[in-house]
Chain A
Amino acid sequence: MSTDSLSSIILTLVTFAPLAGGLLLMLLPRRDRDIRIFALVISLLTFVLSLHLPVYFHRAQAGFQYEIDKPWVSTPNIHYHMAVDGISLWLVVLTTFLTPLCVLISWKSIHERVKEFFILLLILETALIGVFTSLDLFLFYFFWEATLIPMALLIGIFGHERKVYAAVKFFMYTMIGSVFMLAAILWLYAHTGSFDFVVIREQIAGGAVPGFSAAAQWLFLGFFLAFAVKVPLFPFHTWLPDAHVEAPTAGSVLLAGVLLKMGTYGLLRFNLGLFPEQSRHNAWWVMTLALIGIIYGALVAMVQPNMKKLIAYSSVSHLGFVVLGIFSFTQAGLNGAMFVMLAHGISTGGLFMLAGILHERRHTYEISEFGGLANPMPIYAASYLVIVLASVGLPLLNGFIGEFLVLSGAFQDKAIYGILGATGIIWSAVYLLWMYQRVFYGTITHPVNNTLGDLSGFEKMAVWPCAAAALVMGVAPILWLGAIDPAVHAALTPFVQVVGRVVGP
Chain B
Amino acid sequence: MIVNWVATFFPALVQTLPQGADYVRILPEIVLSVFGMIVMVLEPLLDEEQSQKILGLIALVGTLAGLGATWFMAQSPGLAFWNMVQVDEFSVFFHVLVIAIATVVILISYEYMAVQRIRAGEYYALILFGVVGMALMSSAIELVLIFIALEISSISSYVLAGFRRHEAASAESSLKYFLLGSFATAFFLYGVALMFGATGSTNIDQISQTLQSGPIPLLAFVAVAFMFVGLGFKVGAAPFHSWTPDVYEGAPAPIVGLMSTAPKAAAFAVLLRIVFVIDVHAIFYVIWVAAALSMTLGNISAFLQNNVKRLLAYSSIAHAGYLLVAFAAAPGPGISAAMFYTAAYAAMNLGAFAVVSHFANAGERYVTLEDYEGLGRSSPLLAATLTIFLLSLIGIPMTGGFFAKFYVFNAAMKANLIWLTIIGVVNGGVGAYYYLRIIVRMYMRESRKEVPVMPVPFALRLALVACLVATIYLGIFPNSTLQYAQDSAQRLVWQSSFAPVSAEPGTAGTVVKIVKSGI
Contact = CB atoms under 8 A, between A and B. Distances in A.
Interface in B396-436: 396-398, 402, 406-407, 409-410, 413-414, 416, 418, 421-422, 425-426, 428-430, 432-433, 436
B436 A179 contact: no
Interface in B27-45: none
Interface stretch (A46-54, A140-148, A384-392): A140-148
Contacts of A171: 432, 436
Interface in B363-419: 391, 396-398, 402, 406-407, 409-410, 413-414, 416, 418
B428 A189 contact: no
A138 B402 CA distance: 11
B483 interface: yes
A419 interface: no
Contact of A180 (B391, B410, B425, B443): B425
A179 B396 contact: no
A183 B445 contact: no
B443 A168 contact: no
B346 interface: no
B444 interface: yes
B440 A183 contact: no
Given A146-B397, A149-B391, A178-B429, A190 B444 contact: no
B479 A74 contact: yes
A75 B489 CA distance: 14
B92 interface: no
Contacts of A74: 479, 483
B443 A157 contact: yes
Contacts of A13: none
A228 to B, nearest CB: 15
A395 interface: no
Interface string B6-19: 00000000000000
A75 B413 contact: no
Contacts of A190: 410, 413-414, 416
Contact of A76 (B410, B432, B436, B445): B410
Given A73-B482, A167-B444, A183-B421, A149 B396 contact: yes
B239 interface: no
B68 interface: no
Contacts of B425: 179-180, 182-183
Contacts of B429: 172, 175-176, 178-179
Contacts, number: 83
Contacts of A75: 482-483, 486
A221 to B, nearest CB: 12
Interface string A63-89: 000000000111110000000000000
A183 B413 contact: yes
B interface secondary structure, majority: helix
A168 B436 contact: yes
Contacts of B483: 74-75
A146 B476 CA distance: 13
Contacts of B433: 168, 172
B430 A176 contact: yes
A146 B440 CA distance: 18
A374 interface: no
Contacts of A149: 391, 396
A76 B403 CA distance: 10
A141 B403 CA distance: 12
A370 B92 CA distance: 71
A283 interface: no
Given A164-B440, A164-B445, A175 B410 contact: no
Contacts of A167: 440, 444
Given A74-B479, A164-B440, A189-B410, A145 B397 contact: yes
B444 A156 contact: yes
Contacts of A73: 478-479, 482
Interface in A180-221: 180, 182-183, 186-187, 189-190
A180 B428 CA distance: 11
Nearest to A145: B397
Interface string A331-343: 0000000000000
Nearest to B475: A142
B440 A175 contact: no
Interface of B: 391, 396-398, 402, 406-407, 409-410, 413-414, 416, 418, 421-422, 425-426, 428-430, 432-433, 436, 440, 443-445, 478-479, 482-483, 486
Interface of A: 72-76, 138, 141-143, 145-146, 148-149, 152-153, 156-157, 163-164, 167-168, 171-172, 175-176, 178-180, 182-183, 186-187, 189-190
Given A75-B483, A179-B428, 17 more contacts: A73-B479, A138-B406, A141-B397, A142-B397, A142-B402, A145-B396, A171-B432, A172-B432, A172-B436, A176-B429, A176-B430, A178-B429, A180-B426, A183-B422, A186-B409, A186-B421, A190-B410
23 contacts: A75-B482, A75-B483, A76-B407, A142-B402, A145-B396, A145-B402, A156-B440, A157-B443, A167-B440, A167-B444, A168-B433, A172-B432, A175-B432, A179-B425, A179-B428, A179-B429, A182-B406, A182-B409, A183-B409, A183-B418, A183-B425, A186-B409, A186-B421
